[in-house]
Chains A and B, each alone.
Chain A
Amino acid sequence: MTEQEEKQVADLLKESMPPVNRELECDLWPRMLQRLDEGSDRRHWIAVMFSPSALSAVPWFDWALLAVLVLGVCVFPRSIPVWLYHF
């Protein structure tokens, strides 16, 4: 295929479908916010609960407490009913 053939097709296309130069006529941010709200509503609660932002919001002390709890259950498995009773 020669450049001339390509130019021939390009000329035809330009004549049939001239370039579109049009500016955005309105601010799309309100629609974007609506979309973000809809998107957050659609997210499953597990995805929200275990999202990186949610996990990073948990204080270090709570993680330490959880670690102690898990360790305690592993070392003293018979304590599980006691924990279940208290929760």
Chain B
Amino acid sequence: MGTLEQPPETLQRFAAGELDAFETLFRQFQGEVYRWILRIVRDPAAAEDLTIDTFWRIHRAHARFDPTRSFAAWSRRIASNVAVDHLKTARSRNTHLDASLPVESIQDLSVGNPAIRRELRERTQLAFLQLPAKLRAVAVLALIEGLPHSEIAEALDISTAAVKSRLFRAVRMLRKKLGNLDTNHD
């Protein structure tokens, strides 16, 4: 994010509360904020609404923005908070994982059994949705999107150690929910 930073005067005018400066920043960063939120919430319609929410918070907080700092990084932090808040409040599915997949089923993955593979995918999605919001955000950015820990730490405004800790907990919880994954599923 932020490959095209704004000139300082635009940022200063935004910090002073000028609407046209806000519009300039909105038009430049709406796409990047949307993509970032979409990576976390994985729902295009919700991501549009949350992009509006993010810029609404940005607009309200304009007086707290330091024009000498990066607008891109600041907006990404706010977008991350908005996305995690959404994950916390989003209605969770009522489906529970009552039992682990049998070990022999997971072994079948090695021969590419489509039914088992489909079931495992569904169970993985459900297990993922049951993770706490903060762990989900870190897990999706680190494990699915493959972002470096430092970038995730900056976006979520936490330390790299906290990212590693959340990732560790997320992986442990997923493994627990999915049962025995010690067998090679490749």
Interface residues of A (CB under 8 A from B): 1, 5-6, 8-24, 27-29, 31-32, 35-36, 39, 52-53
Contacts and interface: CB of A to CB of B under 8 A. Distances in A.
Nearest to A38: B56
Interface size class of B (residues with CB under 8 A): 35 or more
B185 interface: yes
A20 B124 CA distance: 17
B143 A24 contact: no
A53 to B, nearest CB: 6
B167 A19 contact: no
B181 interface: yes
Contacts of B19: 36
A5 B144 contact: no
Contacts of A5: 171, 175, 181
B137 to A, nearest CB: 13
A6 B44 CA distance: 28
B35 A9 contact: no
Contact of B121 (A16, A31, A52): A16
Contacts of B122: 16
